């Protein structure tokens, strides 16, 4: 009788562990998908930042040229 109780308890504990394992697997997959999504969004933002930096550099060059022209006229 004790042997059956012990086996039943062991079986229940194994079932609980399997359920936890499956839940953690699902959570892990969800987190992996979120990570992939975040990486893609980060890459897009990095590209946008680089484009804006290039645009800012061009605007700064334009401003420098305008300042040089004004200085040559005034000075």
Residue 18 is encoded by which pair of tokens? 């399997």
Residue 1's pLDDT band, with cuts at 50, 70 and 90, is: low
Q: Give 5-16 pLDDT, tens digit per residue.
A: 889 999 999 999
Parent domain of 47: 1-75
Q: Residue 4: its pLDDT value, please?
A: 80
Q: Give 24-63 pLDDT, tens digit per residue.
A: 999 999 999 999 999 999 999 999 999 999 999 999 999 9
Prediction pTM value: 0.66
| C-alpha dist (Å) from residue 56 to 53, 62, 70 | 5, 10, 21
Q: How many folded domains does the chain comprise?
A: 1
């Amino acid at each position: 009788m004790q042997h059956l109780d012990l086996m039943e308890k062991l079986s229940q504990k194994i079932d609980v562990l399997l359920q936890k394992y499956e839940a953690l697997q699902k959570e892990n997959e969800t987190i992996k998908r979120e990570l992939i999504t975040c990486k893609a969004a980060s890459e897009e933002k990095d590209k946008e930042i680089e484009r804006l930096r290039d645009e800012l550099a061009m605007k700064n060059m334009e401003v420098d040229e305008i300042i040089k022209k004004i200085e040559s006229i005034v000075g």
